[in-house]
Structure formats: C-alpha cells, structure tokens
C-alpha cells in the first residue's frame, strides 16, 4: 500500500496528487471518459443543438466584415430554431437516465478501481478490465444512485419550500413596515432585504452542499463491494470533514469552470453557433471530467484512512510481509 493512505492528506495535497495522477494516466482516463460519455454527448448534441442555416456566419467572420453589434445579435437570433418536442422528451426520458444511472456511476467506479490499484502499488488494469469490473457492479451502482438521488431531491424540495416561505414572510414584513412609514421603503430596509436575500441564497446553497457531500461518498463503497448502498458509511466518514471537502470542491470548481468558460467563449467567437462547436465543447468537458472524479476518489480513500484505520491496517500488513522472509531465512 502506498504511503498516501498511511498519511492523511490536506486540500493542497489532494489537488496536487489529483493533477499528478491525471497527467500520468491521461490516456487511460480520457479513453474511459470517451467510451462512456462520448456517445451520450454526441446524442445530446444531435437532439438539443440547432444547426446553423446555410449561409450563417460566426461572430469572428462578422467582425472581419465590420458588422455592427445589432447585426451580430440579429444573426444569432436568426440561427436559433425551435426544437421539436420529441427531442426534449427523448432527452429527458432516455439520455438523461442513462447518463445518471449507468454512465456516470460506471465512470466513477472505473476510476475508483484505478486509484485503488495506484495507491496499492499494483499494476493499473487496462481500460477494458476497469470497465468490466465496473459494469459487473452496475445493478448496485444504479440502485444506490436512485436511492441517494431521491434523498437529495427530497431535501431540495423541503429546503426550497422553506426558502420560499421565508421570502414570503420577509416580503410581508417589508410591506407592513412600508405601510407604517406611509411612503416608499427606506434605504435601511432595502439594504436589509438585499443582505437577507444574499444570506438566504448562500445558506440554501451551503445546506444542499452539506447533504450532497455527506451522502455523496456512497459510490466507492458500492463499487468496491463493501456496501450495497453505502449511505450510512458515507455519512460516518465525512462527519468531521465537511468544510475541508467543501473548500476542495470550491477550488476545483473555480479552476475548472474558468477553463471551460474560456474555451466555450473562444469556440463561440471563432466558430459561432451550431453542432460542431457544441461537439468540441463536449470534447473539452470529457477531457476535463477526470479532474472532478480523481479528487473525489482520492478524498474517499483519505477519509477511509482517517476514519476506518485503513492506513494502520496497511502498515501492519506491510510489516508482517517484511518480517516473513527474514524469519524464514533464519
């Protein structure tokens, strides 16, 4: 077992090791993502992306022709067609369930097996073997994902209802105070409402993030065959690590989304709207996707080392193995 598991890692170490692993096994990681997500993104692009009409030009070409801002906005609106209802229905009833219940869990599971082999010092299996192991656990992976998804959805609905009631109560209070004043709302009341809205928004996002992170580590347990669902184990191992994990995902989100936004704007600037730019954006997303999954997987093994003595067990086993040849020789 690698020393990574024997020594719990901080946020910087987790991110740094993730990028190291990404660079070292880039081809395998991207190949797994392409095999799993490539067909889904292709079908999604064909269903939801409107092709440009003949003769349409990109923003780059319009700038070369000294087109005005109004002309560019008019060209963009002319290139937007109404999608058929069957495309949307097919996307939500077929593409999205396959993506959430099959493709995404199998992708995460494949990288879990890869990272476990890497941390154990074993030879990392080939792409076909990683996918075979993951698909062999497809039933429990999909079933546990449905259950956790329903829990997250229930929490979201309850939180959204509570937030709505708080907003309504705040609006009523503001209306009553405004009635007492007999005029428009004062500056202090406006500032109070704005700050209250900001606090409610971030509180809502933080509360949802709390439950997503606390329940979110069920998948590696199911992939490794340690649990059939894994929700309870996930809740236990993340008990004292929410803020550390939240900060890690916040940093990753900022870095990755900045890169994606820059690439998306560049493609839109050069190529305009249509199927080809959408496919290229999907390709960029697929290439970057392991940078989401690897830190998640590494942090899972780090949490196990912190909470379940995985590192200590590995150290004991390593000590026994080191001493056995010496005893035999004596």
DSSP state of 26: H
d(CA 266, CA 237): 41
d(CA 192, CA 186): 10
In the numeric block, the tokens 């590995």 are attached to 314
Nearest C-alpha neighbor of 307 from the set 234, 211, 243: 234
Which of 48-57, 177-186, 202-211, 291-300 has the lowest average pLDDT? Answer: 48-57
The band of 5, judged by pLDDT with boundaries at 50, 70 and 90, is: very low
pLDDT of res. 28: 95
DSSP state of 101: I
- Checking if the pLDDT of 55 tops 50, the result is no
Nearest C-alpha neighbor of 57 from the set 264, 272, 267: 272
Which of 139-153, 226-240, 277-291 has the lowest average pLDDT? Answer: 277-291
Q: In sequence order, which residues have a C-beta less than 8 Å from that of residue 163 and are 6 or more positions away?
A: 200, 204
The band of 310, judged by pLDDT with boundaries at 50, 70 and 90, is: low
Give the percent of the chain with pLDDT over 90: 42
Indicate the average pLDDT of the chain: 79
pLDDT of res. 166: 82
The band of 120, judged by pLDDT with boundaries at 50, 70 and 90, is: confident
Nearest C-alpha neighbor of 29 from the set 100, 98, 130: 130
- Checking if the pLDDT of 235 tops 90, the result is yes
- Tens of pLDDT, residue by residue over 62-116, are 444 555 545 545 554 544 444 567 777 787 888 889 999 999 999 999 999 999 9
pLDDT of res. 262: 87
DSSP states of 80-134:
--PPPHHHHHHIIIIIHHHIIIIIHHHHHHHHHHHHHHHHHTPPPPPHHHHHHHH
- Checking if the pLDDT of 272 tops 70, the result is no
The band of 59, judged by pLDDT with boundaries at 50, 70 and 90, is: very low
pLDDT of res. 315: 41
d(CA 149, CA 155): 10
- Checking if the pLDDT of 321 tops 50, the result is no
- Which tokens go with 296? 């998640």
Mean pLDDT along residues 177-188 = 56
d(CA 301, CA 6): 10
d(CA 24, CA 18): 10
């Amino acid at each position: 077992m690698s020393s990574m598991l024997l020594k719990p890692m901080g946020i910087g170490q987790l991110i740094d090791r993730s990028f190291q692993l990404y660079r070292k096994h880039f081809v395998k990681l991207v190949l797994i993502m392409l095999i799993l997500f490539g067909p889904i993104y292709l079908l999604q692009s064909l269903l939801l992306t409107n092709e440009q009409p003949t003769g349409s030009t990109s923003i780059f070409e319009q700038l070369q022709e000294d087109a005005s801002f109004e002309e560019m906005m008019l060209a963009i609106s002319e290139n937007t067609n109404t999608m058929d209802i069957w495309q949307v229905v097919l996307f939500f009833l077929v593409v999205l369930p396959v993506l959430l219940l099959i493709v995404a869990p199998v992708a995460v599971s494949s990288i879990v097996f890869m990272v476990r082999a890497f941390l154990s010092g074993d030879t990392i299996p080939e792409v076909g073997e990683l996918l075979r192991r993951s698909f062999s656990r497809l039933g429990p992976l999909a079933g546990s994902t449905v259950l956790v998804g329903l829990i997250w959805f229930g929490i979201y609905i309850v939180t959204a209802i509570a937030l709505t009631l708080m907003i309504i109560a705040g609006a009523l209070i503001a209306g009553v105070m405004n009635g007492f004043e007999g005029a428009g709302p004062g500056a202090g009341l406006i500032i109070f409402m704005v700050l209250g809205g900001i606090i409610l928004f971030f509180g809502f996002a933080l509360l949802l993030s709390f439950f997503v992170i606390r329940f979110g580590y069920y998948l590696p347990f199911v992939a490794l065959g340690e649990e059939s669902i894994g929700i309870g184990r996930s809740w236990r191992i993340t008990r004292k690590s929410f803020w550390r994990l939240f900060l890690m995902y916040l940093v990753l989100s900022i870095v990755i989304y900045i890169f994606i936004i820059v690439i998306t704007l560049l493609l839109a600037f050069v190529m305009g709207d249509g199927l080809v730019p959408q496919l290229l954006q999907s390709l960029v997303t697929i290439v970057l996707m392991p940078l989401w999954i690897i830190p998640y997987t590494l942090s899972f093994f780090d949490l196990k080392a912190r909470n379940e003595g995985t590192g200590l067990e590995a150290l004991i086993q390593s000590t026994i193995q080191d001493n056995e040849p010496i005893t035999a020789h004596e």
